[in-house]
Amino acid sequence: MASDRDLHDLALDIAREAGALALRRRTEGVAIAATKSALADIVTEADREVEALVRARLAAEAPRDGFLGEETGAEVGESGLTWVVDPIDGTVNYAYGMPQYAVSIAVVAGEPDPDRWEAVAAAVYAPAVDEMFHAVRHDGAYLDGARLRVAELTDAGGLIATGFGYDPSTHAGDLAAVGRVLPLARDLRRAGAASLDLSYVAAGRLDGYFERGLQPWDHAAGALIVREAGGRFGRGDADAAGRVLNVAAAPELYDRLFAAALQP
Ligand code: LIP
């Protein structure tokens, strides 16, 4: 069985190759292939092509492992490992030509259930800015090989990121949560790619992040990177729309952020 370090190295190599493809397609012009859960929830031809590249690499180099991807769904493996992939996280940013998008690849052990799996290794690669966030369980989180540590909170409050679902009927509840979190914040950010929001918490570029309704592939890699950088990542009860709360922060902010973001 491959070591944790071998799995990490494979994740980084695939993420870098996939990111280069995404960047190349972006410069050639992006075509919207379809809408998914709502008109605003789009998938591009590049999303599909990048996920196909990742699957082909894994089929060749980790054929016994399972797969869970945003565009092609789940495939059960026989090794006890599952690769959880968002080929282009921040798809809307990507379609508009904004640089805030990433290839997010995690390999997890155990059931492919975000509340039961153990993340083993993670790679979040932002090709537009050539930044690779990565981590191995029990062996730290890194940005291009440099060790990461979550930020120390200042008296000014936290720089806190969030996100909103594509379904307009959920926006009132999300905005109410923003109102409850604001007293903890020096300011808010809404950048549009969960894997990068999580990686930025790990890097100390954000103090915290919360969002309801993420998919497993949005947070699988970033959650490990946060934890290996000394931060906390947790998930709360689902709201009336069935959307689970996801929260990441440095330890001294986490409990207060989680409580404020959760429904009253
Ligand atoms: C996105 C997330 C983001 C969320 C967006 C979208 P996608 O994932 O990364 O945090 O706010 O609504 O879900 O769809 O670009 O892979």
Angle formed at CA 69 by CA 61 and CA 219, multiple of 5 degrees: 110
Ligand 1 atom closest to the CA of 91, numbered from 1: 15
47 touches ligand 1 (CB under 6 Å): no
- Confidence (pTM): 0.96
Looking from the CA of residue 89, the nearest atom of ligand 1 is 16
Q: Which pair of structure tokens corresponds to residue 77? A: 């493996």
Going from the Cα of 89 to the center of ligand 1, the distance in angstroms, rounded, reads 6
For ligand 1, say whether the CB of 163 is within 6 Å of any of its atoms: yes
The CA distance from 113 to 227, in Å, is 18
In sequence order, which residues have a C-beta less than 8 Å from that of residue 255 and are 6 or more positions away? none
Q: 116: which 2 tokens?
A: 């039961």
87 and 44 Cβ atoms separated by less than 8 Å: no
- Which of 36, 91, 104 gets mutated to test ligand 1 (max ligand atoms within 8 A of its CB)? 91
Other beta carbons less than 10 A from residue 180's beta carbon: 15
Atom of ligand 1 nearest to the CA of 41: 14
What's the confidence (pLDDT) of residue 40?
74
pLDDT of residue 43: 75
Q: Measured in angstroms, how far is the CA atom of residue 204 from the centroid of ligand 1?
A: 21
Among protein residues, the one with the nearest Cα to ligand 1's atom 10 is 194
Structure tokens at 19: 């990111």
Cα–ligand 1 centroid distance for 218 (angstroms) = 7
Closest ligand 1 atom to residue 70 Cα is 16
Per-residue confidence (pLDDT) for residue 240, from 0 to 100: 86
Which pLDDT tens digits describe the chain residue by residue (264 residues)?
799 999 999 999 999 999 999 999 999 987 777 778 776 777 788 999 999 999 999 999 999 999 999 989 899 999 999 999 999 999 999 999 999 999 999 999 999 999 999 999 999 999 999 999 999 999 999 999 999 999 999 999 999 999 998 889 999 999 999 999 999 999 999 999 999 999 999 999 999 999 999 999 999 999 999 999 999 999 998 988 899 999 999 999 999 999 999 976
Distance 2 CA to ligand 1 centre (A): 31
Cβ proximity of 132 and 144 under 8 Å:
yes
Burial 54-79 (b: 16+ CB within 10 A, else e): bbebbeeebeebbbbbbbeeebebee
- Rg for the chain (alpha carbons), in Å? 17
DSSP 170: G
State the pLDDT at residue 264: 67
